[in-house]
Amino acid sequence: MDFPKPNIILSRCINIEAVRYDGGITNNEFAKILGNYVNYIPVCPEVSIGLGVPRDPIVIIKENNSYRLYQPKTELDLTSRMEEFSDEFLDSLREIDGFLLRSKSPSCGVSGTKIFDNPYASKPIEEGKGIFAKKVLEKFGYLAVEDELRLKNIEIMNHFLIKVFAFTELRETLNSLSSIKELINFHQRYKYLLMAYSQKILRTLGRVIAGIDGSKLQEIVFIYREEFYKAFSNIPSRGSHINVSQHIFGYFSKYLSNSEKERFFKLLDNYRKGLIHTTDLIRALRDYNLRYNNNYLTTQRYLNPYPEEFLLYKN
């Protein structure tokens, strides 16, 4: 199955350019491989607001429940410059499918950013997000927004990639949509993936494309897009993946001996216990489908959610 090419905003210091405050670069293998499948749009918010490389460190200060971006050495409060840049930059974006940002940064951090109660404190009072990342989440929180550190968790990586490639395919399908039939085909390909994420929304979307309420194509597209985004808000439970796997396994079980069936149920049990990842489960189902070549399942995004290289990826 082919994959559309997502447009991803990337922190410029990840693999692209040595723009970190200390003049360094963050080498990241996952982002490097992903670069073979996506268009990166690099941005360094700190350089964009006029700070040089290298530069004096900046920190986040929590003051009366509001977060300030501050450079202790120069005593500059950079909060409004960063907020204005973020608003302008994010408002200018079109056709974006996800964000891969640098962890712990007072600007880009989606997680692990140290927050202090004064500019000169040595110990943080909490961990949170960078100012730019916060704006990203406010405006694009429905998209896949992650940092390179969180993506070391295979389940988070799986969820990130599923969202990125599903939303890109949705965007491209809707951009060139000429008839409801194309949307129905799209929906059919996503049946099992949607079932894993939200059975309720799968049913809603089924009703939407059937045009049961008499909506016109434009209205259908609008509702479909909103509901589809909503479906992927959270990582599904292991129980949900087990349910879908059992449905898919039903296509092959009649060909299998009892010991082969037992092997599959042992695999599900290991998955339930958290001993293997969702990517391992998908790979096992793909192997069955390679063996029995079910045409309908071959079209299912559940078995081909993103480029195969990532199904084998281990951090």
Which residue in 20, 187, 191, 241 binds ligand SF4 (CB under 6 A)? Answer: 20
DSSP structure class, residue 56: -
Amino acid at 136: V
Site for ligand SF4 in 245-304 (CB under 6 A): none
Count of residues of this chain found to bind ligand SF4 when the rule CB under 6 A is applied: 12
Q: Is 44 in the site for ligand SF4 (CB under 6 A)?
A: yes
**The one segment of 43-51, 183-191, 248-256, 307-315 that binds ligand SF4 by CB under 6 A:** 43-51
Distance of alpha carbon 118 from alpha carbon 162, whole angstroms: 40
Q: How far is the CB of 133 from ligand SF4 (least distance, A)?
A: 9
Sign of CA dihedral 309, 93, 142, 19: positive
Check: CB of residue 8 under 8 Å from CB of residue 161.
no
67-76: Cβ within 8 A, 24+ apart:
67/115, 67/128, 67/131, 67/134, 69/106, 69/107, 69/131, 70/119, 72/119, 72/120, 75/119
Q: Is 196 in the site for ligand SF4 (CB under 6 A)?
A: no
**The one segment of 6-14, 83-91, 218-226, 243-251 that binds ligand SF4 by CB under 6 A:** 6-14
Closest residue to ligand SF4, judged by C-beta, is: 13
Amino acid at 110: V
**The one segment of 44-52, 92-100, 282-290, 301-309 that binds ligand SF4 by CB under 6 A:** 44-52
Which residue in 8, 49, 82, 108 binds ligand SF4 (CB under 6 A)? Answer: 108
Q: Is 19 in the site for ligand SF4 (CB under 6 A)?
A: yes
Q: How far is the CB of 186 from ligand SF4 (least distance, A)?
A: 34
Q: Is 46 in the site for ligand SF4 (CB under 6 A)?
A: yes
Q: Is 13 in the site for ligand SF4 (CB under 6 A)?
A: yes
Check: CB of residue 44 under 8 Å from CB of residue 178.
no
Strands 144-147 and 98-101: parallel
Distance of alpha carbon 34 from alpha carbon 97, whole angstroms: 13
Q: Is 135 in the site for ligand SF4 (CB under 6 A)?
A: no
Q: Is 15 in the site for ligand SF4 (CB under 6 A)?
A: no
Closer CB to ligand SF4, 12 or 187, in the complex: 12
Check: CB of residue 96 under 8 Å from CB of residue 48.
no
Which of 93, 106, 25 minimizes the C-alpha distance to 67? 106
Site for ligand SF4 in 77-106 (CB under 6 A): 102, 105
Residues that bind ligand SF4 in the complex, under the rule CB under 6 A: 11-13, 19-20, 44-46, 102, 105, 107-108
